[in-house]
């Protein structure tokens, strides 16, 4: 059993978060399995519910997230590992909700996202994953896949007056739930 390593998380301003990530050529490679294990360890240590490879300084198209279908608690929702993900938007409807990001520590913002999507990709065993997602599940997938295109959530905001420090979010009656991705 190879020991897992908690990796450093890249933060807004580092160029790796602004560039498009490269496709993973062999999703079943040992180096990818190792990266996945390290990312799980890193995400759990940081109490996040999602993580993209560029957030651990690997410019590869690989994301992971807990597939949260309310009202299941985030950390108990199944973990999906998605390599070379593809998203299809299934609605014109967008909804605003609060997001946080491990690469934008201490901040929260109100971000519009599509409410209904499908997504596909492969897992580290090479198995095809294809699912539909709504609500928070759809939001997390859009947030993570944006990381692979060099986009952070503040770039998706339409009203930057709703970008704020978490320590000030008490003024907005926000839930205390930690759902950074
Ligand atoms: Ni993020």
Q: For 113-146, how does the pLDDT look when each residue is reduced to its tens digit (9 = 90+)? A: 999 999 999 999 999 999 999 999 999 999 999 9
Domain assignments of the chain as residue spans, ordered by start: 26-171
- Structure tokens, 42: 């890193």
Give residue 153 CA to ligand 1 midpoint distance, Å.
7
Let me know: does 53 contact 35? Beta carbons within 8 Å: yes
CA of 93 to the centre of ligand 1 (A): 22
Catalytic residue IDs: 144
Q: What CATH number belongs to 26-171?
A: 3.90.45.10
| Residue 151 alpha carbon to ligand 1 centre in Å | 9
Q: Has residue 178 got a pLDDT over 60?
A: no
Query: Under a CB-based contact definition with an 8 Å cutoff, are residues 35 and 62 in contact?
Result: yes
Ion ligand 1 residues within 5 Å by Cβ: 101, 181
Torsion of the alpha carbons at 51, 64, 21 and 89, rounded to the nearest 10: -110
For the chain, what's the residue count?
181
What is the pTM assigned to this prediction? 0.92
| 24 Cβ neighbours under 8 A, 6+ residues apart | 32, 60, 61, 62, 83, 84
Distance 48 CA to ligand 1 centre (A): 9
Cα–Cα dist 142/119, whole Å: 9
């Amino acid at each position: 059993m190879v020991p897992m390593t908690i990796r450093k998380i890249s933060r807004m301003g580092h160029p790796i978060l602004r560039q498009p990530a490269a496709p993973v050529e062999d999703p079943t490679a040992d180096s990818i399995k190792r990266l996945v294990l390290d990312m799980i360890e890193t995400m759990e240590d940081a109490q996040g519910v999602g993580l993209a490879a560029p957030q651990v300084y690997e410019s590869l198209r690989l994301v992971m997230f807990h597939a949260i279908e309310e009202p299941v608690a985030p950390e108990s929702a199944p973990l999906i590992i998605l390599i070379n993900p593809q998203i299809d938007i299934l609605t014109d409807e967008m909804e605003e909700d609060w997001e946080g990001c491990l690469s934008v520590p201490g901040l929260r913002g109100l971000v519009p996202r599509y409410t209904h999507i499908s997504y596909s990709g492969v897992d580290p065993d090479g198995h095809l994953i294809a699912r539909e997602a709504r609500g928070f599940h759809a939001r997390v997938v859009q947030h993570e896949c944006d990381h692979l295109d060099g986009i952070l959530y503040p770039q998706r905001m339409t009203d930057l007056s709703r970008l704020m420090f978490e320590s000030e979010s008490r003024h907005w009656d926000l839930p205390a739930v930690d759902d950074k991705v």
